[in-house]
Chains A and B, each alone.
Chain A
Amino acid sequence: MDPLVFILDALVFVGVFMLLALSLNLEFGYTGLGNFGKVAFFMVGAYIYAIAIQFGLPFYLSLVLCALVASILGALVSLPALRLREDYLAITTIAFGEIVRIIFKAEQSIAGGVWGISIPSIFRDLNLSIRMSVVANLLLVYFVVIVVFIVLQLLTNSPYGRVLRAIREDDEAVSVLGKNVIYYKVQVFMIGSAVAGLSGGLYAQYLRFIEPNMFLPLVTFFVWIMLILGGSGNNKGALVGALLVEFISRGSRILKDYVALPVDAHNVQYIMFGVLIILIIMYRPDGLVREKPLKADWIERKITHGNS
């Protein structure tokens, strides 16, 4: 394979995972909501995209639809659980992740069942070379990453973000301060799911073929690893985590071409993740990129001007 294409291809995956990591970071990193079914929203996004494109919808509308459907599902899944204790959310989301995959696998009529579904690329009429087609996808994915990153940065560095951080620490205390905690949590879950749905749509567009086995629970755990390594509660950390995990994952696969390994090359990445997680938790429990307090220039001004 063309080494440049290999790198560009890896970067497309990094972008897709960046979106997933950003969305989990909003839910867990800022708000403390443990979503263990991230892959389900990713999968729903991918399938909605595939179906919408086959239906003849323009790609941007298809992407909007991915986000929309995923966020509605996010609300439906989280609403009952969020009214109960914390741990119910974990259980519900794990179950949801598996249920979605099993449905898509079993129901051939929806999208090909185990055989999967192919999606025509939106760039097919441009007659691009392989290299250029990867570049086109790269631009598309990173355009979305940048937009999502900016929106999440603004959101989490505003009074809205302050409420989320407070909910993460003590949601009862937040409700005593007059904030409707359930409302915030459902909103966060909807935004997070929408971003995961978008990510799934872009993934489907790039791969042009999806099948249920691409959406194993492993995907969810990869996203968690990104957050743990990169640093939760910091959007930049989520980006770093996604890059790092994909780098290790790919790197270990290349490694086997150069080094004789005593273990299956595919497993090297898991060993590395295990070691890394232990090291990070021991020496840098907040992750590589630490959480920062809210930006507030006016506070600096007030303090330096010998406050009123």
Chain B
Amino acid sequence: MAILEVNNVVKNFGGLKVLKGATLSVNKGTIVGFVGPNGSGKTTLLKIIFSLLDSDGGSIAFNGNDITGLSSHKIYRQGLSFAFQLPRLFLRMPVLDNLIIAARQQHGEGLLRSLFARRAWSNQEEMLADKVFQTLNFLELTHLAKNNTGELSGGQRKLVEIGRALMADPEMMLLDEPAAGVNPVLGKKIYQKLRILCEQGMTFLVVEHKLDMVLDFADWVYMIDHGKIMLAGPPRDVIESPDFYTTYVGEKNNASS
């Protein structure tokens, strides 16, 4: 059953036609890999799904509801979360706060409740803190919990960005190159985690350039080129298709290495 349906999405940046009718669908409880050359429109499509960019045509449905052009915060509330390719963290805030803020339905985020329901939200904070530390342990960042996020290295920031998507506990995650700039062991660990979450019913649309990750972890792959979905299918079929080589890898060798 499709949880996310992207239908014929078009996007132009001025004269540049980035998406020329992209159509794809993601089934519930799967990891879908989204590959394609640099500048082929992957990030653009993800941002359009999350209403961070307006599209110039097409529609998007999540769980059967039309979410085209809905505000980002409402899309989040429908059960989606998004991790940016280039981390968008709050650099003047500690790592802890960057993670805890991503959790859903916090009592203390309302004006009146923040003042008058202090007991309720501080209890909730304490529970969320457990979850934050689990996430931090998993990402091997516990020692940096209290540091200002601005002090983190590029790869560490990327991890916090992923941690934030995990904290949101969504039905479906859009991940833009989650393992880019992360050391290979941890990168693999992240994908293993996604697999576990997937088995529990979560759904993923993941942009990824590392083909071995796609082969090992994706259930289905879409390849985009020049703004159109060119190939779709199980990872091995897509990656072994001759078209894949000509547009993406450039030469016919070491695919599954």
Given A158-B108, A169-B92, A293-B93, also A308-B50 (CB < 8 A): no
Partner of B108, one of A160, A180, A298, A308: A160
* Alpha-carbon distance between A209 and B96 when the two chains are bound, in angstroms: 51
Q: How far is the CB of A206 from chain B (nearest CB, A)?
A: 28
* Alpha-carbon distance between A178 and B94 when the two chains are bound, in angstroms: 20
Contacts of B94 in A (CB 8 A): 293
Determine if A158 and B118 form an interchain contact, defined as CB atoms under 8 angstroms apart: yes
Let me know if A179 is at the binding interface, CB within 8 A. Answer: yes
Determine if A307 and B125 form an interchain contact, defined as CB atoms under 8 angstroms apart: no
Contacts of A181 in B (CB 8 A): 73
Determine if A176 and B50 form an interchain contact, defined as CB atoms under 8 angstroms apart: yes
Let me know if B72 is at the binding interface, CB within 8 A. Answer: yes
Determine if B168 and A177 form an interchain contact, defined as CB atoms under 8 angstroms apart: yes
Contacts of A165 in B (CB 8 A): 90, 92-93, 97
Let me know if B23 is at the binding interface, CB within 8 A. Answer: no
Determine if A160 and B111 form an interchain contact, defined as CB atoms under 8 angstroms apart: yes
Let me know if A294 is at the binding interface, CB within 8 A. Answer: yes
Determine if B133 and A296 form an interchain contact, defined as CB atoms under 8 angstroms apart: no
Contacts of A166 in B (CB 8 A): 90, 93, 97, 101
Residue of B nearest to A151 (CB): B115
* Alpha-carbon distance between A294 and B121 when the two chains are bound, in angstroms: 14
Let me know if A251 is at the binding interface, CB within 8 A. Answer: no
Can you name 7 extra interface pairs (CB under 8 A) apart from A166-B90, A180-B73? A155-B115, A162-B109, A169-B92, A170-B88, A172-B72, A177-B73, A178-B104
Residue of A nearest to B122 (CB): A298
Q: How far is the CB of B115 from chain A (nearest CB, A)?
A: 6
Contacts of A187 in B (CB 8 A): 111
* Alpha-carbon distance between A154 and B116 when the two chains are bound, in angstroms: 10
* Alpha-carbon distance between A155 and B115 when the two chains are bound, in angstroms: 6
Residue of B nearest to A172 (CB): B52
Let me know if B129 is at the binding interface, CB within 8 A. Answer: yes
Residue from the set A154, A158, A308 with the largest chain B CB neighbour count within 10 Å:
A158
Interface string of B99-135 (1 = CB under 8 A from A): 0111010111111001100100110011001100110
Let me know if A175 is at the binding interface, CB within 8 A. Answer: yes
Contacts of B195 in A (CB 8 A): none
Residue of B nearest to A296 (CB): B125
Contacts of B129 in A (CB 8 A): 296, 298-299, 302
Give residues 167-207 of A contacting B (CB, 8 Å). 169-170, 172-181, 187
Residue of B nearest to A291 (CB): B92
Q: How far is the CB of A18 from chain B (nearest CB, A)?
A: 20
Given A151-B115, A176-B72, also A294-B108 (CB < 8 A): no
Let me know if A218 is at the binding interface, CB within 8 A. Answer: no
Give the size range of B's interface with the partner: 35 or more
List 17 A-B pairs, Cβ < 8 Å: A154-B115, A159-B101, A159-B109, A160-B109, A162-B97, A162-B109, A165-B90, A166-B101, A169-B91, A170-B89, A175-B73, A177-B164, A179-B109, A294-B97, A296-B125, A302-B130, A302-B133
Interface string of A202-230 (1 = CB under 8 A from B): 00000000000000000000000000000
Interface string of B67-92 (1 = CB under 8 A from A): 00001110011000110100011111
Q: How far is the CB of A181 from chain B (nearest CB, A)?
A: 7
Partner of B88, one of A154, A172, A294: A172
Contacts of B92 in A (CB 8 A): 165, 169, 291
Determine if B115 and A307 form an interchain contact, defined as CB atoms under 8 angstroms apart: no
Let me know if A259 is at the binding interface, CB within 8 A. Answer: no
Contacts of A154 in B (CB 8 A): 114-115, 118
Let me know if A163 is at the binding interface, CB within 8 A. Answer: yes
Contacts of B137 in A (CB 8 A): 307
Residue of A nearest to B92 (CB): A169
Given A159-B106, A163-B101, also A303-B93 (CB < 8 A): no
* Alpha-carbon distance between A308 and B102 when the two chains are bound, in angstroms: 20
Partner of A175, one of B72, B84, B107, B146: B72
Let me know if B247 is at the binding interface, CB within 8 A. Answer: no
Given A170-B88, A303-B146, also A178-B168 (CB < 8 A): yes
Given A176-B72, A178-B73, A307-B142, also A298-B126 (CB < 8 A): yes
Contacts of A173 in B (CB 8 A): 84, 88-90
Determine if B121 and A159 form an interchain contact, defined as CB atoms under 8 angstroms apart: yes
* Alpha-carbon distance between A291 and B93 when the two chains are bound, in angstroms: 11
Determine if A308 and B88 form an interchain contact, defined as CB atoms under 8 angstroms apart: no
Given A179-B109, A298-B129, A303-B146, also A169-B115 (CB < 8 A): no
* Alpha-carbon distance between A158 and B119 when the two chains are bound, in angstroms: 11
Determine if B109 and A163 form an interchain contact, defined as CB atoms under 8 angstroms apart: yes
Determine if A177 and B101 form an interchain contact, defined as CB atoms under 8 angstroms apart: yes
Q: How far is the CB of B107 from chain A (nearest CB, A)?
A: 8
Contacts of B197 in A (CB 8 A): none
Interface string of A279-306 (1 = CB under 8 A from B): 0000000000001011010110011000
* Alpha-carbon distance between A172 and B51 when the two chains are bound, in angstroms: 10
* Alpha-carbon distance between A43 and B167 when the two chains are bound, in angstroms: 45
